[in-house]
């Protein structure tokens, strides 16, 4: 894995970079107030208005450069309907700017991935508004479903707009798998008969009524069948919304059957998982699998205090507020290995 390095993308006009916003961060530690006291997730979001937006690109590079390609990655827009044609302006503007910056990227991406939570409360109005905004991207879009897209109607409107909730595709020698990693067990679903209440319970911060996410037995069986036809030497990229590892349960930075999914991925020489949901940059490696969390275009979350600090992985060197800002990331995938870059900050 290469360490993150900065690189400015192609910029229209005079090419000058816009200075990053000034939200304070610590070097991998928990968020604090100006006075140094710890703050929780609920308080942290109130200070996110001055966060930054970052433009990013994923480059898949092979020994034969004719096989190289790039894709863009955006996630967690949380578009929220207010009334009529009104939506929360900050989240709308953040996604709109990310799309505009993505359209300036050079090389132009082969496609874009949206990593889930396009909507905030999963209503038809929010999802349709999000689909309209994403239609402005100058490349095809591959969609990942998030819990905020799903629990209002169990993904019915999302599926009508965007298609299957899990699927795979091949692109220039790389196999991609998209998973719905935010399913709940039947017992939890049976507790809620009304969609808006079910969505509210799952969307709540540190809500004990929420359910642990899972991929589920049906989807794991599909994944095993899909990968059975793929040679183990093929570069494999898995796109999920929640992390396919267990980070912090009380924040639901968690997938209950993560180890079972990892076992299905084990035969492959090199696997890279990209996910959203945590609204921050995180990196990890478990055996043959590299995990990379991408930023949200909406708000950032603080670093989980329970997340273990690795003595093996190098400490990341990012911009002054990059670890806890908003945006989307530049990731280079060289022969299946990943390097993440932070090229451009834009104040939201």
Domains by residue range for the chain, with CATH: 41-347 (3.60.21.10)
CA dihedral for 104, 105, 111, 112, sign (positive or negative): negative
Instruction: Tell me if the bond preceding 107 is cis, omega within 30° of 0.
Output: yes
Instruction: Determine the Cα–Cα distance for residues 201 and 122; give it in Å rounded to an integer.
Output: 13
The CB density around residue 228, as the number of other CB atoms within 10 Å, is 9
Q: What is the pLDDT of residues 106-147, one digit of tens each?
A: 888 999 999 999 999 999 999 999 999 999 999 999 999 999
Beta bridge partners of 74: 114
Instruction: Determine the Cα–Cα distance for residues 179 and 166; give it in Å rounded to an integer.
Output: 5
Task: With beta carbons less than 8 A apart as the criterion, state whether 211 and 202 touch.
Answer: yes
Q: What is the pLDDT of residues 225-252, one digit of tens each?
A: 999 999 999 999 999 999 999 988 888 8
Position 172 scores a pLDDT of 92
Q: How many residues does the chain have?
A: 348
Mean pLDDT for the stretch of residues 32-58: 41
Task: With beta carbons less than 8 A apart as the criterion, state whether 328 and 56 touch.
Answer: yes
Q: What is the pLDDT of residues 142-187, one digit of tens each?
A: 999 999 999 999 999 999 999 999 999 999 999 999 999 999 999 9
Position 315 scores a pLDDT of 32
Mean pLDDT for the stretch of residues 254-272: 95
Q: What is the pLDDT of residues 180-227, one digit of tens each?
A: 999 999 999 999 989 999 999 988 767 778 889 999 999 999 999 999
């Amino acid at each position: 894995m290469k360490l993150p390095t900065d690189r400015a993308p192609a910029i229209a006009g005079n090419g000058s970079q816009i200075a990053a916003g000034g939200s304070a961060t610590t070097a991998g530690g928990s968020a604090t107030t100006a006075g140094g006291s710890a703050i929780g997730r609920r308080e942290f979001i109130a200070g996110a208005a001055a966060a930054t937006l970052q433009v990013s690109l994923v480059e898949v590079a092979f020994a034969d450069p004719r096989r190289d390609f790039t894709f863009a990655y955006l996630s967690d827009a949380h578009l929220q309907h207010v009334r009529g044609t009104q939506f929360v302006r900050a989240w709308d503007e953040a996604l709109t700017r990310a799309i505009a910056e993505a359209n300036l990227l050079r090389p132009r991406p082969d496609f874009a991935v949206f990593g889930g939570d396009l909507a905030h409360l999963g209503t038809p109005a929010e999802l349709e508004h999000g689909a309209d905004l994403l239609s402005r991207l100058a490349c095809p879009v591959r969609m990942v479903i998030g819990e905020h897209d799903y629990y209002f109607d169990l993904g019915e409107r999302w599926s009508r707009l965007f298609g299957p909730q899990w699927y795979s595709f091949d692109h220039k020698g790389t196999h991609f798998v998209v998973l719905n990693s935010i399913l709940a067990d039947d017992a939890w679903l049976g507790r809620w008969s009304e969609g808006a209440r079910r969505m509210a319970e799952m969307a709540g911060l540190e809500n004990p009524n929420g359910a642990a996410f899972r991929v589920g037995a049906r989807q794991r069986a599909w994944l095993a069948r899909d990968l059975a036809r793929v040679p183990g030497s093929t570069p494999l990229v898995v796109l999920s919304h929640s992390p396919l590892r267990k980070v912090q349960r009380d924040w639901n930075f968690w997938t209950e059957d993560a180890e079972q999914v990892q076992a299905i991925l084990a035969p492959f020489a090199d696997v890279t998982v990209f996910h959203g949901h945590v609204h921050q940059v995180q990196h990890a490696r478990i055996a043959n699998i590299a995990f990379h969390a991408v930023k949200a275009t909406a708000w950032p979350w603080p670093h989980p205090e329970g997340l273990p600090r690795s003595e093996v992985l190098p400490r990341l060197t990012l911009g002054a507020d990059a670890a806890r800002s908003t945006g989307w990331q530049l990731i280079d995938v060289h022969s299946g290995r990943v390097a993440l870059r932070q090229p451009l900050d834009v104040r939201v």
